[in-house]
Amino acid sequence: MTYIMNNNVNIENNTDAIVNNITRIDANTTAIYTEKTRAANAEQANAVAIDNNIMRAEATTMNVETNMTYIMNNNADIENNTDEIVNNITRIDANTTAVADEINTARIAEQANTDAIATEKTRAKNAETTNTNAITSNAVAIIAEANTARIAEQTNADAITTEKTARITGDNTNKEYTNAQIAALSIPDLTNVPTPTNNSDAANKAYVDSKNSEDPDIINLPATSVTAGMIKINGGRFVHAYGSSNTFVGKDAGNFTTTGYQNVGIGSYALMSNTSGENNHANGFATLMANTTGQCNTANGTSALRNNTIGESNTATGTQALLNNTTGYCNTANGTYALQNNSDGNYNIGIGNNTLYTNESGSKNIAIGRMAINSSKESSDNVAIGYYALVNLKNGNNNVILGNLAMANGDGSNNTIVGHSAGISNHSTNMVGNVFFGYNSGANETGNNKLYIENSNSSSPLIYGEFDNDMLRVNGQLEVTQTLKVLGGNPGAGKILTSDANGVASWQEPASTNGAITNLAEPINPQDAATKAYVDALEAKLIALEARITALEPAVIGEIRDGGVVFYLADTPTDLDGDGDLDTGLVCAIEDQSAEIQWYNGSETNTGAKATAIGTGSANTTTIITSQGATETSYAAGVAKAYQGGGYTDWFLPSNDELNAMYLTKATLEAVSGFSAFSISYWSSTEYNSSSAWVQYFNSDNKNKYFKNQIYFVRAVRAF
């Protein structure tokens, strides 16, 4: 029984142990299930993460492929541009060589002409000396004969007559004058000269007496004719005045058949072929050499207007300017080779070397700048101003081009292009109706009727338009400070502007709102008015919150904030304007507050504004205004106090040390966009004595005191 009882006890104990084991198994089973659930969830999460990573990897691969495509396209563009640059350099080298050769040829020709002119001048001088000596000898002989005649006239009248005849028919040692010309220089009939017996004798005596008193060096030529009244050189005409009011100087200048009048030809062969042309002025070798009936032309420079025949009212200044003009009229060429090949083009203006060089029959072109419109033959009504502007135009009209290299490689008509290198890269492209404004704008555009407003060669300019499609695009943010009026569609009172899926806007009648908001901008019912008031209040709170957030942001030197630009930061929060509040630093105005102005209002008093340290400028300003008066536009402190930049009214004139701190950050401040550069010197609010105050130079780290009645600039500051 004892064993049985013990066994029962053991059975009970074992039963309890089994129950405990079952409980533990259940707990372990639950834990295993929980762990499996967690593992499954983790596996699912990992699978999702793996899928996401795969998707990201695929997207990254696509982006890489896209970028590689862009890079390959860019490389192709770079290679094309590089080839174009090489071609341009080759063309520039060729042009440079050609220009150098032309310059050397011109210099050699010019030197040859100079030497020839010097030789001609020497020959003319020698001939003039010979003629002068001969004429002087004749005059002396005439006077001697006259004296002899006076002494022996009564007994030797016949001898005088015989002597006269002998002189007229005698040898001419000069060989430059005919006997008939010498006769004109002989003394007149001297019958009874000592005691004149008739009017003819009296006149003869007066003539001889006047010749006897004249300067023997005077050359008194008779009127020019085919055989008389000229100076020759090497047997050819050199100086003469044939015709009416004409003047010709130079080897074979002018001629002896012209009927034209008031012409001036100076230089070998100048106006050599003129027939009836009048009022022409030719100055230089072969100028207007072929002119026949052309009139009112002016040519200055070797071979200027050389081949002109009947062209009128042309002005050519420069070697070979308008060289080949024949019938063209009213052209103006100023510069070497300007309008050189013009033949019958009219009303052209070319100013600068090689301007309109190739033009033949084009008219009403204006080219200013070296090589402007250099390559065109027949184009008309173009305006090109700038170095190489429209240099390669071949066939185009009605272009207005302004800027160095503007449309330098393009061709076409009706284009308006303004800006350095604007439209430059349009090689051999026939551009029509484009408008480009800005440096390098539209440089790569090859189409027509395009609008570009940009300051780079971007293909997405700030403003882009297509005139043929009546389309205007703004590639950036568009701000309208006044009301915007949309006229398209069918506008009307109470309508709203809505857009479709493509962004096309139109005016529509508002749908029934059943009391909902209909017009918040201009309330038309109490619901709208209440909502607008709520929104306005919310907006005010947002603005205040933004201001508080800005105030909490750490400031940096050169930051635009609180009405100005930060130029000083205190090591620890400090009251910098005397209002009792702790401040972070000082900002200065972005611009000067006035032109130069005096420190005082005209009254020399000791204001007591002597403080120099940072944080004393505001107190100095208040002290000065209290002493000087409240006319805040007549002196420095008043102008600073009156400034209200950024909507703030607590600006003041900086103290000596505050102004110096501003100078020490000058480079940083002037690099801020929109900041006006400092002037040379500025007033501080620090007084020295009753008649002078301190000034800070901003072109050097130097301060000095100057009389208060002198004028310097003002830059106001405030604490924040």
The pLDDT value recorded for residue 622 is 94
The pLDDT value recorded for residue 171 is 43
Instruction: State percent of the chain over pLDDT 90.
Output: 50
The pLDDT value recorded for residue 389 is 94
Q: How confident is the model at residue 167 (pLDDT cuts 50, 70, 90)?
A: very low
The pLDDT value recorded for residue 223 is 78
Question: Does 108 map to a domain?
Answer: yes
How far apart are the C-alpha atoms of 357 and 367, rounded to whole Å? 10
Question: Does 316 map to a domain?
Answer: yes
Mean pLDDT is lowest, of 278-287, 485-494, 557-566, for: 485-494
Q: What is the mean pLDDT of the segment spanning 403-413?
A: 92
pLDDT value at 58 more than 70:
no
Question: Does 189 map to a domain?
Answer: yes
Are residues 229 and 213 part of one domain? Answer: no
pLDDT digits (tens, 9 = 90+) for 658-690: 999 999 999 999 999 999 999 999 999 999 999
Instruction: Name, in order, each residue with C-beta under 8 angstroms of 609's C-beta and a sequence gap of 6 or more.
Output: 619, 620, 621, 623, 624, 627, 685, 686, 687
Question: Does 502 map to a domain?
Answer: no
Question: Does 500 map to a domain?
Answer: no
Mean pLDDT is lowest, of 57-61, 388-392, 550-554, 621-625, for: 57-61
Are residues 462 and 413 part of one domain? Answer: yes
Please give the residue that has the higher pLDDT: either 441 or 603.
Answer: 441
Q: What is the mean pLDDT of the segment spanning 510-516?
A: 57
How far apart are the C-alpha atoms of 182 and 205, rounded to whole Å? 20
Are residues 229 and 187 part of one domain? Answer: no
pLDDT value at 42 more than 90:
no
Mean pLDDT is lowest, of 161-170, 187-196, 489-498, 664-673, for: 187-196
Q: How confident is the model at residue 193 (pLDDT cuts 50, 70, 90)?
A: very low
Please give the residue that has the higher pLDDT: either 289 or 534.
Answer: 289
The pLDDT value recorded for residue 105 is 73
pLDDT value at 211 more than 60:
no
pLDDT value at 335 more than 60:
yes
Q: Is 583 helix (H, G, I), strand (E, B) or coil?
A: strand
The pLDDT value recorded for residue 200 is 43
Are residues 228 and 142 part of one domain? Answer: no
The pLDDT value recorded for residue 176 is 45
pLDDT value at 172 more than 60:
no
Q: How confident is the model at residue 610 (pLDDT cuts 50, 70, 90)?
A: very high
Instruction: State percent of the chain over pLDDT 70.
Output: 68
Q: For the chain, give the mean pLDDT.
A: 81
The pLDDT value recorded for residue 478 is 87
Question: Does 425 map to a domain?
Answer: yes
pLDDT value at 18 more than 90:
no
E-state strands within 392-545: 400-402, 411-413, 416-418, 430-432, 435-437, 450-453, 463-466, 471-474, 496-499, 505-508
pLDDT value at 252 more than 70:
yes
Torsion of CA 224, 225, 231, 235, to 10 degrees: 170
Beta-carbon count within 10 A of 2 CB:
6
pLDDT value at 334 more than 90:
yes
Mean pLDDT is lowest, of 90-99, 298-307, 333-342, 369-378, for: 90-99
Helical segments of 569-643, H only: 617-628, 636-642
Are residues 181 and 117 part of one domain? Answer: yes
Q: How confident is the model at residue 191 (pLDDT cuts 50, 70, 90)?
A: very low
Are residues 572 and 438 part of one domain? Answer: no
Asked if 553 contacts 563 with a C-beta cutoff of 8 angstroms, the reply is no
**Distance set, CA 423 to CA 84, 345, 405, 454, 532 (Å):** 15, 27, 9, 12, 50
β-partners of residue 363 are: none
Question: Does 487 map to a domain?
Answer: no
pLDDT value at 196 more than 60:
no
The pLDDT value recorded for residue 237 is 86
Out of 220, 250, 275, a domain closes at: 220
Are residues 251 and 227 part of one domain? Answer: yes
Query: Per the structure, how many domains does the chain have?
Result: 4
Out of 364, 394, 425, a domain closes at: 364
Are residues 205 and 234 part of one domain? Answer: no
pLDDT digits (tens, 9 = 90+) for 347-373: 999 999 999 999 999 999 999 999 999
pLDDT digits (tens, 9 = 90+) for 110-124: 677 677 767 777 776
Q: 265 phi and psi, to 5 degrees?
A: -125, 115
Please give the residue that has the higher pLDDT: either 49 or 377.
Answer: 377
The pLDDT value recorded for residue 70 is 58
- Comparing C-alpha atoms, which of 335, 396, 391 is closest to residue 362? 396
Out of 364, 389, 416, a domain closes at: 364
The three state secondary structure string of 242-271 is: CCECCEEECCCCCCCCCCCECCEEECCCCC
The pLDDT value recorded for residue 73 is 65
Question: Does 530 map to a domain?
Answer: no
Mean pLDDT is lowest, of 307-321, 394-408, 505-519, for: 505-519
What pTM was computed for the model?
0.45
The pLDDT value recorded for residue 151 is 57
Q: How confident is the model at residue 88 (pLDDT cuts 50, 70, 90)?
A: low
Are residues 574 and 432 part of one domain? Answer: no
Asked if 409 contacts 400 with a C-beta cutoff of 8 angstroms, the reply is no
What CATH number corresponds to the domain at position 258? 2.150.10
How far apart are the C-alpha atoms of 691 and 694, rounded to whole Å? 11
The pLDDT value recorded for residue 30 is 66
Instruction: Give the CB-side neighbour count of residue 199, counting CA atoms within 13 A.
Output: 0
How far apart are the C-alpha atoms of 66 and 61, rounded to whole Å? 8
Helices (H) and strands (E) in the chain, counts: 8, 30
The pLDDT value recorded for residue 375 is 93
Q: What is the mean pLDDT of the segment spanning 475-482?
A: 87
pLDDT value at 268 more than 90:
yes
Amino acid, res. 146: A
How far apart are the C-alpha atoms of 206 and 211, rounded to whole Å? 9
Asked if 710 contacts 678 with a C-beta cutoff of 8 angstroms, the reply is no
How far apart are the C-alpha atoms of 406 and 339, rounded to whole Å? 20
Q: Is 176 helix (H, G, I), strand (E, B) or coil?
A: coil
The pLDDT value recorded for residue 529 is 78
The pLDDT value recorded for residue 213 is 53
pLDDT value at 695 more than 80:
yes
Q: Is 19 helix (H, G, I), strand (E, B) or coil?
A: helix
The pLDDT value recorded for residue 236 is 82
Q: 689: domain range? A: 560-719
Are residues 260 and 183 part of one domain? Answer: no
* Strands of the sheet with 717-719, listed across from one edge: 560-561, 564-574, 583-588, 717-719
Asked if 403 contacts 417 with a C-beta cutoff of 8 angstroms, the reply is yes
Task: Name the DSSP letter for residue 652.
Answer: B
pLDDT digits (tens, 9 = 90+) for 519-537: 666 676 776 777 888 888 8
Are residues 280 and 230 part of one domain? Answer: yes
Are residues 286 and 159 part of one domain? Answer: no
The pLDDT value recorded for residue 344 is 95
Mean pLDDT is lowest, of 63-72, 601-610, 611-620, for: 63-72
